[in-house]
Amino acid sequence: MTELQSRTGAHTDVPQVIDFELTDELKAFQADAREYAETELAPFAEAWDREARFPRDAIAKAAARGYLKVTIPTEYGGTDLGNLASCVMLEEINAACPSTGVTVSVHNSLVCSLLAKQGSHEQKERYFPKLRDGEWIGAYCLSEAGSGSDAAALTCAARDAGDHFVIDGPKLWITTGSEAALFVVFARTGEDRVKGITAFLVEREWPGVGIGKKERKLGIKASPTVEILLEGVKVPKSNVLGEVGRGFNVALDTLDGGRLGIASQSLGIARHAIDTIREHLRTQVDAKGRPTAHQADQWELADLAADLDACRMLTWRAAVLRDRGLPCGPQAAMAKLKASLLANRAARSAVSILGPAGLSGAAERLMRDARICEIYEGVTDIQRLVIARGELAR
Ligand SMILES: Cc1cc2nc3c(=O)[nH]c(=O)nc-3n(C[C@H](O)[C@H](O)[C@H](O)COP(=O)(O)OP(=O)(O)OC[C@H]3O[C@@H](n4cnc5c(N)ncnc54)[C@H](O)[C@@H]3O)c2cc1C
């Protein structure tokens, strides 16, 4: 028995180490996602961005490969691969097209995983067959004009009318809102700031559900972000998601998963920026083929490469915690904080290092797309707030 074993009471003969390798199953899934991203997304992403065109066919192909059912339990026809698999897949997709990336991320991490965790058997039987094959896309409606970082300030009202609720009030900045057929809507069922919020499943085709203005954005232009209008929408009580009055906790728990999706989006953007810098520096050689790139540029490449690995480890660690059903709030916030800052730095460096070419080629799109990673699923300062609360509670 080793000294460590006698001190800790560990039973294993082998020292416990962290395994940084993906399983063979996940490596194959990663390779499949990379092939999808390189063939179905990368050649078209620039045009989709320029025309602000939603990549409907590419999403259908993602569904055909099973990418829209990774958080759906197997008994409802999903693959239930979980959060780590989702992160691995999303890094690949986002390295090619962050607009497709956020569509897939919201559908999986904010809608399907929420339904899997909180939904009744009847709700799962009704909606998962449509969601798993991409027939229906899901959207997540939490934010309002006066409620984003302060989610508990939402005012969208759900009035109890016997066997149903009546929902009134617009939702703002809803990703894929104009394409979605199912909305998770957070609305106020009571006066208490936190305990007065309930989550509902609302279908696009129900009377009173409308699509408002579409935002004209800096980046991820191929992902439509719209206002969702809810005017006198009758929602049967069977469509309450989870318990009445528990919506705020549900929203926060779901956001931990969503943050892993945006951390992975950031990893994909950062990786694309680093690849762009590397390829550019490789072209700078003397007559004998020796690198002549400025040392400052090489050091920036080195720092970015090291930070990318560090951020990926943070992201995968939080994903593993979540897959094990353990709390991961501060860990997911750390991943999102660090990865989103890295995506912005890497994209900015790519533009700088490429010189004038950086302003017109793929690097300029990277810089525009990276900016949003610091905003949605909680702005950068909110990630710091979550981490600081975790630290102070230790
Ligand atoms: C492209 C896009 C897509 C989106 N998709 C969705 C979606 O699908 N569903 C959805 O529900 N929402 C969505 N959102 C909304 C998004 O989550 C919110 O915009 C975000 O949470 C920020 O909230 P806010 O807009 O109210 O900004 P604010 O809360 O007003 O934040 C603005 C700034 O104020 C400061 N700040 C605010 N509060 C604090 C604080 N407590 N401590 C320190 N500083 C603070 C920060 O500097 C922050 O950057 C989307 C937004 C965008 C831009």
332, containing H or E segment: helix 329-354
Instruction: Read off the DSSP letter of residue 202.
Output: E
- pTM recorded for the entire structure: 0.95
pLDDT of residue 228: 98
Q: Are the CB atoms for 113 and 286 separated by under 8 Å?
A: no
Q: In whole angstroms, what is the distance from residue 345 CA to residue 109 CA?
A: 26
Domain with CATH 2.40.110.10 in the chain: 139-245
Ligand 1 pocket list (CB less than 6 A): 106, 140-143, 148-149, 173-175, 217, 225, 372, 375-376, 378-379, 381, 385
Confirm or reject CATH 3.40.50.300 for domain 24-137, answering yes or no: no
Candidate from 252, 382, 384, 386 with most ligand 1 atoms within 8 A of CB, to mutate: 382
pLDDT tens-digit readout, 28-37: 999 999 999 9
The pLDDT, as a whole number, for residue 7 is 63
Return the residue whose CA atom lies nearest to atom 9 of ligand 1: 174
Q: Is 377 a catalytic residue?
A: yes
| 148 Cα to the center of ligand 1, angstroms | 5
Q: With beta carbons less than 8 A apart as the criterion, state whether 351 and 235 touch.
A: no
pLDDT at 16: 61
CATH number of 249-392: 1.20.140.10
Q: How far is the CA of 132 from the centre of ligand 1 (A)?
A: 29
Which residue owns the Cα nearest ligand 1 atom 29? 149
Confirm if 235 and 187 have CB atoms less than 8 A apart.
no
Structural contact between residues 76 and 128, judged by C-beta atoms closer than 8 angstroms: yes
Q: pLDDT averaged over consecutive 10-residue blocks of the chain (394 residues)?
A: 60 66 96 98 97 98 98 98 97 98 98 97 98 97 96 97 97 98 98 97 98 97 98 98 96 94 98 97 91 93 98 97 95 98 98 91 92 97 97 94
Q: What is the pLDDT, as a whole number, of residue 20?
A: 85
Q: Using alpha carbons, list the distances in angstroms from residue 284 to 120, 273, 281, 353.
A: 60, 17, 5, 12
The CATH architecture annotation of domain 139-245 reads Beta Barrel (2.40)
Residue 370, both tokens:
């990276």
pLDDT of residue 95: 98
Closest C-alpha to ligand 1, atom 28: 149
211 CA to centre of ligand 1 in angstroms: 20
Eight-class DSSP state of 162: S
User: pLDDT at position 356, please?
Assistant: 87
Whole-number CA gyration radius for the chain = 22
Other CB atoms within 10 Å distance of the CB of residue 338: 18
Dist. CA 200 → ligand 1 center (Å):
21
Pairing assessment for the beta strands 182-188 and 138-141 based on DSSP bridges: parallel
Write the residue with the smallest CA distance to atom 49 of ligand 1.
379
Compute the distance from residue 377 Cα to the ligand 1 centre, in Å.
Answer: 7
Ligand 1 probe mutation, 183, 228, 340, 376, most atoms within 8 A of CB: 376
Intervals of CATH 1.10.540.10 along the chain: 24-137
Per-residue pLDDT reduced to its tens digit, 39-82: 999 999 999 999 999 999 999 999 999 999 999 999 999 999 99
> Which residue's alpha carbon is nearest to atom 17 within ligand 1?
376
